[in-house]
Amino acid sequence: MSDEEQAGGPRMADNVSLFEDAVRQHSKRLLAIARAIVGTRASPEDVVQQAVMNLFRHRDRYDWREPGGLLRRAVVNEALRLLRQPKMGVVTEEHAGRDDTDPSSASVERETVMQVRRAIAKLPEHYRSALVLCEYEKMSYADIATTLNASVPQIKTWIFRARRQLAEMLKEFAST
């Protein structure tokens, strides 16, 4: 074994490479999770960046061959931490331009998405987090419970109540 290997050289480099690959592979999904949880109350990019930086500082503690759950949990925790702080100013959302052929259907779709996002943003943070992880991330109740540090029955209750509240909030919008 060389002096470099004993000092952690190649192993450290492999770990950094695995970490970078994991972040690159999951970044769009992580951004979607952050956006769904924090909405317009904070910058989802900042949430993901802080979560990734926290993990990078402690990257040697984790196995980066199967990083999906760890990355998701870090983003959820960072988003929840941020939401517990005093409220920040509203940040406008940026939407990438799309080449929709029918401007009126694109407008209706944008309005629908905005209404749903506004309704989700009005949910209590624990309902919102559980619902996002269930609906958008397709996580099992057990995984959501682990991520949010709650029991499975509690997660089921939160998701049920979140769906019920969303249905009530969107009832008028759906009828128009």
The full set of domain ranges for the chain reads 1-89, 104-176
Class of the CATH-defined domain 104-176: mainly alpha
Q: Is residue 168 classed as helix, strand or coil in its secondary structure?
A: helix
Average pLDDT, stretch 24-35?
A: 87
- Is 129 in contact with 80 (CB distance < 8 Å)? yes
Tell me the two tokens of residue 102. Answer: 């029918």
Is-contact 34 48, C-beta < 8 A? yes
Q: Is the pLDDT of residue 8 over 80?
A: no
Has this prediction a pTM greater than 0.95? no
User: Average pLDDT of the chain?
Assistant: 78
Write the class of the CATH domain 1-89.
Answer: mainly alpha
| Mean pLDDT, residues 22-41 taken together | 84
Report residue 167 CA to chain centroid gap. Answer: 22
Distance CA 26, CA 90 (A): 26
Q: In this model, does residue 102 exceed pLDDT 70?
A: no
